[in-house]
Every structure is written in C-alpha cells, then in structure tokens.
Chain A
C-alpha cells in the first residue's frame, strides 16, 4: 500500500537522522564527563568516568552497540540523571503531550475562526484588527510574552502560579492544581501559534472567496455559510494542514523556551538539557522520537491534504 511504501522510505530518513545526530553529538567537543564532574574534573577522573560510561571505545563501535541495544528494546541509562532513558522520556512525554495537545487544539480552532473572519471581512475593520493582532504577537519573542504574562497574572494579581507543574506544597496535587499551572504556558504558546497558523489561512480564504466558482455559486443562490464551509474551507485549509503537520512533532517534544521559562518539565526542556550536558543516551532517544513523529506528522498532513484535494497526488 502507498502508506507502507512511504513508511519504508521514512525509515531510511529516520536512520539517517539518528546517525547524523549520533555523530554530531559525540563529536561535539566536551563530553558528558564534564557535566558530571564539573570544575573538579581532572584528566584522570575524566578518563575513569569515560571508561565507566563506555565512551572510550571507538565511536563506530559505540554506534553499533547503540543500535544493537535498541533492537533489544533497551534505550539506555542517562549519564547525568542516573535513570533509565525510557522511563525518563515517558514521564516528560506525558507532561508535554497534555500541554501541547491542549495548546495546539485550541490554537487550531482559534486560527480557523480568525482566518475565516479575516478572509470574509477582508479590507474592513475586523480583518485589520485581526491582522494587527497577528503581527503584534508574531513580532514578540515568546520569552517576552511569557515574562509579561507571569508579571501580570502571577506576580501582580496572584491568580495563577508562576511556574512548575503542580503545587509542591501538597503531597498529592489535584487536577485543579495541574490545570492552574497549565494556563499561562498554554496561553503563551497560543499567542505564538495562532498567528503562525492563521497567517496563510487568512490570505488563502480571501483568495478563494475571490474565485469564479464562489461567484457562480452565489449567483446560483447557494448560501454563504454553505459555500464557506463546504468549499472555501477545503481549499484554503491546505497550507494550514501543512503547517499543522510541520508542528506535529512539537505536540510531543514541546518548545524549549516556553518550557524553560515556565519550568515546565516537558520533553523540550529535557532535550535542551541533554543536548547541553551531552547526555547522549537521552539526547539520541529524543531525536529518534522526534524523527518518528516528524515522519508521522508529514504523512498525516499529506493524507489529509490528499483527502481535501483529490486532484493532487501528494505521494
């Protein structure tokens, strides 16, 4: 089947990706021994630690061993955090999943609504307002919006917590606590994502509305809403779906900056941390995950686009 063929060629992509990152990470000067030993590192202690971690064998051998372990289902042990990689990834993954799934779903809905409004009322006040909102938030770096949100809502008004994932004072923080901790990060991500998703969409809707078939349909008396949702949406959604496909991995890997500003323990933060401290097992496992998700995301996007526009063959 087409999907199977695509998956097979994607497997090649993932293989190349993992190999590239493996060698790039290992060849970056430094090494995890220094993250662990810190300033008390001496050539002697570094050598001893590298031996313990298996880093003094030839790189190709380490590479082969990694694949061998992977085939056995073993993802390894974090050098820095002394935990099995699989368990680590899973616990951070769940956090990111919840966070980004909520953020991106809400963003998509909002982006579609805003884009439709922009297209329909093109040139008039509402569209200009939306355009201004898009540009304004698009032009603001995420660490800045996050900082302002924290300043206003956490520090100023004390409505919401400034960071973290649950109230540490409680032995068993409930759902309410988790939800409260999610609000500011989700809003920050939405302020980033909605402009990005709706920017093409707004233009595309406007384009479509100017086309002949729309004029014809209206002349024939077809309702505006029907035209909008049955035809315009289908055609204009294409770039949006592509963007969503591109952002699919983010649902699982999160964004480093937002997660670190809010101290949200997600996969993006773990990626940052393991990249900086050269915790290879964790880093490469996350990259493998990203690779799988990117491929999946693009596949899904192409499938959906294919459904929307049967004329084109996205394979």
Chain B
C-alpha cells in the first residue's frame, strides 16, 4: 500500500524542533527566472517551465530524475525499468500507488497518457523530445503493474529512458477518459479538472495573474508534507519578489544578479545558491539569411566564439554566478561531459588574437572605418534580444564591446518575445542573429537542435558529420557518441555557446530544505521543505 517514509537520498538532518510551516508562498519561477504566472496545469499541453512546476506537483513522475541525472527509483512511480534487449524493448514495473480518490494507479493510466499524447499530435508540448511519441512502435500492459514499450528501432537506452520514457507519467484515466481531447485542452486552467492526482499536492484554486493554491494530497504515498497550504504567487519582476520576501509576502524569491551582494547582507534572511541550471545562453547566427551568409563559414563562427570574453559576462552580468560554456553540453553536473570538455580543452576560448587571424584567413580585411569587410560587404549584423530583460541586455552589450575589438560591428535591438520567436521560427530573411536561452533535456543530445532540418534548428545549420554523430549519440550504446558529438559541436559552433547562470534564492528565516526542494532539472520536491521556530503563521 502506502510507500512509507522519506526517500533514500541523503538530506540535511531534520531536528526535533520541526514545525508545521502553515502556508508556504513562493513565486512560480523560483530558481528559473522571474515574471510568469501559472496558466495551465496540464503536464501534456504546456511547454512553459512555470506551468510544468505546477503540473509536477499534481502528478507524480514516472521517473524521478535528480540533479545528477540519475533516476531516483524511491521517488518514482516506476520501481524499476529494464531493457532486456539493450535498447529496443523497455519493461516498466509500477509500484503500488493511489490516486487521490482512492483508485489505484495502474498501467492503464500509463497507456492512457500515451494515447492522449498521440491524440494531441504536435500540440503535445514535448512532441519530438526523445523521439516521442512516434518512436514507440507498441505499448502494452501485461498486467496492472507492468508496462512494456517496444520502439521502432534500437536506441541508446540511457538517452531514451532519460528523455523519452520519462514523459509517460500516469494520468487518471478513470476521470479523464470521458472528456474529448478538445475538452481537455479547454480545461487546462480549470482546477476542478485536476481534483484527482497522485502527486504530493492537489490544486484548490488557480486565479490567473494572482496565484495558484495547493493543499497536500491526503492519500499521497510518499513523505508527509510539513505545511498545510502551498501558494505559487505571481510577481511581475525579480526585484519585486525580493521586496516581497523582505516585507513578508513571500517566503522565497529569486535574487536578481545585480542584487546578489546586497541580498547576502540582509538580516534574518538566508541566501541559497543553487547549482547551475542545465542550460546556457546562445547567440544564434542566421546562416539562411542572404545578408549574413558569412555565418556559414565555420571560421567566422569560431572567431565570434574566440572574440567573446565569457568570464567577463559571468563576472559582470551574473556577478560571478555562472560558468562559461563552449559546447552543447552544460558543464555541471559533469556526468555527460566528454573527456576533453572535463579537462577544459575546447576548440574555442577567449582569444581575440586568434579571432583576428581566423577572420583574416576567411578573407576579411579592415575597412576605412575599422569594421572588417570582404568584397565590399561589412561584417556587421543586428542581434535581436527579447525585450525587457536586463540580464540579456547586459550580455548583449558585453558581446558588442568584444566584437567591436576585433572589427565586427554588431547592433542590438530589443523585440517582443513572440515576434522574436515568429521571426526565428518562420522568417529566415527577417533576422540576422538572436540571443536566447536554451534548456537541455536530462540527456543532452542534439537531435532536436543541430541535425539538418531538426525541429528546433532555425538557423540553417547543416552538416553530414554532425548528423552522423548525433545519431551515434542517440542510437548507439554508451557515451562515446555523445562525447564525439559535443567535441565536434564545440569546434563547429552551430550556435555560439554562451555562459549559463546559477540562480540564487532568498529564503526567509526559519524555512529550510530549499536545496533539496529545488531541482535544476525540473520537478520540485515539496516534502523537503520544513520550518523551525521563527516561521510564518
């Protein structure tokens, strides 16, 4: 029946003076970024990280992936996953688990989730990630506690388990089956639709633009919660979040980088610095735009990477809270770093002299105004950045200075995010370069990013060797393919990789367990939060 006490992973010792926290109020983007609210509770339909956090509270993960990219089977609904034929068939064993209305969670719920994924087609938020759902040839349920998935081809099991299989979270078939796909779509933000869940919390109210309110699931089979009310309260900006902690409205908030030093000095509150997120910023050079065909020359891209002082970006824009990134795999945790990357040996790095040499070799010479040119055309372009984000502005301006030093003229232009996306995705002649952030999946392969014609390949990058290496990383066993792919991508710079940041969180006095609660890869663990005297009522 019930699972029993706390998961096995080591955690800070909980002293005897643990109290009920009462209510916990946090902003939705804690540890991710500021300024968005919860607009949907359906894990299948929303790609927003903020909404995913909320959905993850209601529905237990099939596979709980911790910050080291390992599966914590104590915290997952799957008690075991095996692949008898090393990559084509996967047998999942479900642990005994209950929905909040008492019905058991069975393999039928997993099959139902898969059915829904297929029904939504490309409206399914994670469509294409880990090959899902089309990579699955057949999915069957030998009995109520087992699911067998057979793929259409052999793949690297680690890739598929981490990126693909993990998407199959059980959904309450006995409650949802009576609705059509359209009705489920329309009910995304209706808390009544989500009254039955199997995760730690259940939604009570979703007041758009105000807050999302949750209470503990009384039938949850995992650890007990140390609070009676959990509120995700929307704030427009990071600075406001910080002030809300200081005034007592919030229990935790993100800390804008600029205010990090100050936050450490605040009496009574604690600063918790999280491990770096599994993401990075990138400058995407458009190789498909007629005016910037020079980006197609790998020497130009390498020169861009060599010209940029990433450490200065980390120091200035992130106040030291970040790491330079030179390849497609974020540096922390080092689980998936190639030996070369682990040793810090990359094909590019801050070296303006080498940048100049590369550009000269590519045929560029300084023009009368100091800007490099070739055949009368200057090496100049406009970088689009999403509007209203101070961090991105600072990164862009730092890059502008660096590029100017080697003779590249870059202008910066802010643009509303949807317009930016519309240009990036559908109008190759409408943009020259874009600065954006990229989140990686648990297994950082590049099949969606850099393969020719890939869904998220928006800048026209194409290389047969890259495609080969990507396929090796997803289909061949072991990590050699992944290592080769990342070394090649680091040399090729299909996008110019830029630093990733470490977020810090301001926590009010008396609230603990934050490091364990927040998981840079995604799902929150609310059972880890607890309070000692000094907590809010």
Contact = CB atoms under 8 A, between A and B. Distances in A.
Contact of A46 (B126, B244, B426): B426
28 contacts: A29-B422, A29-B423, A30-B416, A30-B422, A31-B418, A31-B422, A35-B417, A35-B418, A37-B421, A38-B48, A39-B421, A42-B122, A42-B455, A44-B455, A49-B123, A82-B186, A150-B243, A158-B248, A162-B240, A162-B247, A163-B240, A164-B210, A168-B23, A169-B229, A169-B537, A263-B235, A265-B207, A265-B210
Contacts of B234: 263
Interface residues of A, number: 50
B534 interface: no
Contacts of B211: 164, 168
Interface in A251-286: 260-261, 263, 265, 269-270, 273, 276-278
A81 interface: yes
B236 A169 contact: no
A42 B456 contact: yes
Nearest to A37: B47
Contacts of A92: 209
Best-surrounded residue of A29, A77, A263 (most CB of chain B within 10 A)? A263
Interface in A32-63: 32, 34-35, 37-46, 48-49, 52
Given A46-B425, A80-B39, A163-B235, 13 more contacts: A31-B418, A35-B418, A45-B123, A52-B185, A81-B39, A82-B39, A82-B40, A82-B185, A163-B240, A165-B210, A168-B231, A169-B23, A265-B207
A154 B231 contact: no
A261 B536 contact: no
B249 interface: yes
B231 A162 contact: no
B208 A88 contact: yes
A265 B209 contact: yes
B127 A45 contact: yes
Interface of B: 22-23, 25, 39-40, 47-48, 121-123, 125-128, 185-190, 207-211, 213, 229, 231, 233-236, 240, 243-244, 246-249, 416-419, 421-423, 425-426, 436, 438, 455-456, 536-537
B247 A169 contact: no
A31 B244 CA distance: 33
B436 A39 contact: yes
Contact of B236 (A168, A260, A277): A260
Given A45-B123, A162-B240, A162-B243, A81 B208 contact: yes
Contacts of A80: 39
Nearest to A160: B247
Contacts of A165: 210
A245 interface: no
Contacts of A40: 47, 125-126, 456
A45 B122 contact: yes
A30 B421 contact: yes
Nearest to A166: B210
Nearest to B234: A263
B259 to A, nearest CB: 13
B91 to A, nearest CB: 30
A69 interface: no
B398 to A, nearest CB: 22
A155 interface: yes
B247 A161 contact: yes
A17 B213 CA distance: 38
B209 to A, nearest CB: 4
A81 B39 CA distance: 6
Contacts of A49: 122-123
Interface in A146-161: 150-151, 154-155, 158, 161
- Give 3 closest A-B pairs by Cβ, nearest first: A30-B418, A34-B418, A34-B421
Contacts of B229: 169, 171
A270 B209 contact: yes
